[in-house]
Structure 1
């Protein structure tokens, strides 16, 4: 009987012929591949143009904040940084020390002056302010803390670049300083992401090489995946940077590119090199070995790449979030990893031939092709008692996922920065001194009237007053401010009188109030638009704050029916939290259906079975469930957070989706590789038990090595100082470790044994019948 491992059985298959083509034209393939890789990598030199948002104009909370920014600062509002100063000896209110305090502040800002060259528009200190309402927000009650704002020219990207240039010059020998504000926090996030990316690569590279040396046992074989990984990731980085200049791509795409690209490019190269060495050990000539490698491992890599890309492309469904940027970065990285693994790598192997095993590493045994090795023994032991193995593991994995039932979702805040970060400490100090004054703890309601209605009109003020009153009475709202809610002692008629009467005709007491709030009203109302500001008692990313947002949106409904009211928007960080969670929920089903259906089709084509793709999809949930449980147990409930140097907080709704898409794709990656080999043995022998044992024996060492590479890469990213990146890195590492050990080594053999020949059933595939004969194309039934 001719088996599929016989070259004659595969000669008519496209990838077999493609392997021969690459071998025969290996010089041209290598030159073209290197030119392509170098060309794409060179685009990194043009520099990125990262998007500062994710196309969120359609999100209510974002639209509301954009209106607030336009009214508060005008169309030319400039990005700001905040510098917080503290002196234990001097006070702003102390006539004897205020001058010294002021001089020390000015000295610290001596090298930061508003000039055309410096791209700094304005610097405002408390000593420059005459407005008492503004002064309250710039000076603490005891006068020992003062805030200075620095306005930058240009958009946020330009402002961050300028801030990065001048930040180090803002120092003082006599004052304690915290540099933060919107631009300062953004700069800290970007700066730490860049540092963490470099650190992760420096950690993962040597460890990956050690793993490859252990897996292959020779230096040349181990270096090949490293080389392919380097050119693949370099090309992917250049491609993403080019794409960022052509479309909206967030900086996070670069981190995902490295996170995914390093792992899959090395894994795919590992699969190809391993199969080539296996074919060479069978005594084949180099050309036949390359062709056989491409027809078997090459096919598995192609389908694996497609399944990973499908998982990543599932993130493209989540419009107006950061997920499409992750999906773009990951898909580009995977596509290039597949391309170079199927072209450049086999071309290099064609030159090397048997020299691929050069450089034997001492004390590491050379892999053998024996049928009764460690992994085959495990598979047979599991299949001898499948239920005894399967049931406890299912209980363990499902139990590990139970904490996810208690998940609380909340967007990333400044607390994602490490506790020792200066920008985070500045916000925490500000909240401590000014009692939770951070903008994260604030909400706004934007009321837009029709173009014929001014906010000063009596009917408009009536709506603003009633709405402000209801907001102020809402549980969880600490304070409310608007042009119609200046004091709880003023009723609607008094508010109408305040704004509808010339100031010189108002009673003295009311005229004083009018004079006091006249300036600040310019930032709270303009033309047909008015803003209601409110401070929350709790944190913005809590369930209580989300409930407040929902109540406010219920309250506004009764006022939206007024004929002169155009629209009412609720904005602020808590509202953005609610909107993002809704965006994720709204698109989750369609994304999952896309991933499941596309993956099912691909795996069906690969293994020619209906049962196995369904089973593979279900088993992937085991790995994902356990990693989700860890996410909540550690990062939300706080177990081990001291060791990890993070602050317990709600889980960002983006993270589980991101992890699901990545883990699902990578889990199917290993599933496809193993099932391809099992299917190959099934076609050759027709014995389900033998096929599973042989498939696991042939791929166990390989999958363990590939998974170890992935785990090392993910753990390296888990060392990030950023909580969000740490969550993703550790979560992915755990999921892949579980998938490659418990699931692939134990659950798969157990379920394959229980299903028996039904594993290979397909209503339209004649080779799934119990007969097992030759087919004309060289496969068997």
Structure 2
């Protein structure tokens, strides 16, 4: 009778009213008839947005429905916005919120490891900045081609929004590859510096010893990542293009031009490490002899206080004609 049909009829009226309000929301193309459960207490609406699932307008619509429309229209009813499109929006929001923490953790951990490896504060900072430069170049190239459409036709790609997980995954891979080149180059530079004590000569020697290897390895990786363009999946094309651009920029402009230039400008100060940190940091197995002696103010003043009897302190402003090796050993007498 009427009493039995009352709750169900009331639920249908409320659902119809809510459907009308949803249909009037800007950005909504269609709201399909609601599906009610057997108790008449739950209704499911299918809302079709005007834009595609990846459009920014669709993301704004999801937030607008959650934050403004449904709380005001549904009175005291419990409301949710779900589905694959809303899940993709939630994933993008979560990844975007976690991205700074992820970048900070990776950069911070790399800083600590490089500080232990190279016994320097300046070198890890410089390495992080150079690696971020390569990652930034990849991000810019990917956005220009795959989002703005610059030259997208040459790659057979359709311009559109960048997948939400692409930036964080690109960063993880690219930062690791860039750090590999950085450690390979600076390890050789540091060996030369510990041997000769000449910062300019150590940079030249390090580049001469590693340039061919870095260039060859980068060429192979660029070809491999470039072959990703043969795939018909847009996300695979995006990753391959971003990785290839980053490796090409990192192995040429960054490692063979910017890093040597910055190291040459910094000179001995590139290997500066405060004495308290020198005492706290652990020493790695196989560390070169004298690795801990180019630290603190010694590196800036050109003096060596490595002798133990208190009588053999050599000052760079004294005789000055022979460089004092950072290991604290005797100058090369063959030059006298």
Alpha-carbon separation, structure 2, partners of 1:560 and 1:674 = 63
Q: Match for residue 309 of structure 1?
A: none
CA contact (8 A) 1:455 1:525 kept: no
- 2:55 aligned to which of 498, 523, 542: 542
1:551 aligns with 2:75: no
CA drift at 1:465: 3.4
- 1:574 aligned to which of 73, 85, 90: 85
Q: Match for residue 102 of structure 2?
A: 591
CA contact (8 A) 1:630 1:731 kept: yes
Provide the aligned length of Structure 1 versus Structure 2.
285
Q: 1:641 to 1:775 in 2, by over 3 A?
A: farther
CA drift at 1:589: 2.0
- 1:708 aligned to which of 216, 219, 223: 219
Q: Match for residue 610 of structure 1?
A: 121
CA drift at 1:639: 2.3
Q: Structure 2 unaligned runs (5+)?
A: 279-291, 309-325, 329-336
**SS of residue matched to 2:253:** helix
Q: Match for residue 170 of structure 1?
A: none
CA-to-aligned-CA distance 1:238-266 (integer Å, 9 cap, x gap): xxxxxxxxxxxxxxxxxxxxxxxxxxxxx
1:469 aligns with 2:20: yes
**SS of residue matched to 1:650:** coil
- 1:756 aligned to which of 267, 282, 285: 267
**SS of residue matched to 2:51:** coil
Matches within 5 A, 1:171-250: none
CA contact (8 A) 1:686 1:772 kept: no
Q: Match for residue 733 of structure 1?
A: 244
Q: 1:629 to 1:775 in 2, by over 3 A?
A: farther
CA drift at 1:582: 0.6
- 1:532 aligned to which of 34, 39, 45: 45
CA contact (8 A) 1:612 1:759 kept: yes
Alpha-carbon separation, structure 2, partners of 1:644 and 1:610 = 42
1:627 aligns with 2:138: yes
Alpha-carbon separation, structure 2, partners of 1:560 and 1:612 = 58
Q: 1:466 to 1:743 in 2, by over 3 A?
A: same
CA drift at 1:462: 5.1
Q: Match for residue 694 of structure 1?
A: 205
Alpha-carbon separation, structure 2, partners of 1:717 and 1:692 = 35
Alpha-carbon separation, structure 1, partners of 2:82 and 2:227 = 37
Q: Match for residue 327 of structure 2?
A: 780
Alpha-carbon separation, structure 1, partners of 2:204 and 2:38 = 75
TM value normalised by structure 2? 0.78
Alpha-carbon separation, structure 2, partners of 1:585 and 1:458 = 44
CA contact (8 A) 2:33 2:45 kept: yes
Alpha-carbon separation, structure 1, partners of 2:90 and 2:307 = 56
CA contact (8 A) 1:610 1:760 kept: yes
CA-to-aligned-CA distance 1:495-514 (integer Å, 9 cap, x gap): xxxxxxxxxxxxxxxxxxxx
CA contact (8 A) 1:603 1:613 kept: yes
Q: Structure 1 unaligned runs (5+)?
A: 1-453, 484-520
CA-to-aligned-CA distance 1:177-231 (integer Å, 9 cap, x gap): xxxxxxxxxxxxxxxxxxxxxxxxxxxxxxxxxxxxxxxxxxxxxxxxxxxxxxx
CA contact (8 A) 2:51 2:58 kept: yes
CA drift at 1:738: 0.5
Matches within 5 A, 1:98-113: none
CA drift at 1:774: 6.6
CA drift at 1:772: 5.2
CA contact (8 A) 1:463 1:559 kept: no
CA contact (8 A) 2:155 2:229 kept: no
Higher RCO (CA < 8 A, seq sep 6+): 1
Q: 1:775 to 1:632 in 2, by over 3 A?
A: farther
Alpha-carbon separation, structure 1, partners of 2:94 and 2:71 = 21
**SS of residue matched to 2:80:** strand
Alpha-carbon separation, structure 1, partners of 2:220 and 2:307 = 39
CA drift at 1:773: 7.4
1:481 aligns with 2:1: no
Q: Match for residue 317 of structure 2?
A: none
CA contact (8 A) 1:455 1:526 kept: no
Alpha-carbon separation, structure 1, partners of 2:182 and 2:166 = 23
Q: Over the residues paired in the alignment, what is the CA RMSD in angstroms?
A: 2.5
Alpha-carbon separation, structure 2, partners of 1:615 and 1:539 = 42
Matches within 5 A, 1:70-469: 457=8, 460-461=11-12, 463-469=14-20
CA contact (8 A) 1:675 1:695 kept: yes
CA contact (8 A) 1:476 1:548 kept: yes
CA contact (8 A) 2:146 2:160 kept: yes
Alpha-carbon separation, structure 2, partners of 1:455 and 1:579 = 38
**SS of residue matched to 1:479:** strand
CA contact (8 A) 2:95 2:164 kept: yes
Alpha-carbon separation, structure 1, partners of 2:139 and 2:57 = 23
CA-to-aligned-CA distance 1:347-377 (integer Å, 9 cap, x gap): xxxxxxxxxxxxxxxxxxxxxxxxxxxxxxx
CA-to-aligned-CA distance 1:428-449 (integer Å, 9 cap, x gap): xxxxxxxxxxxxxxxxxxxxxx
Q: 1:538 to 1:455 in 2, by over 3 A?
A: farther
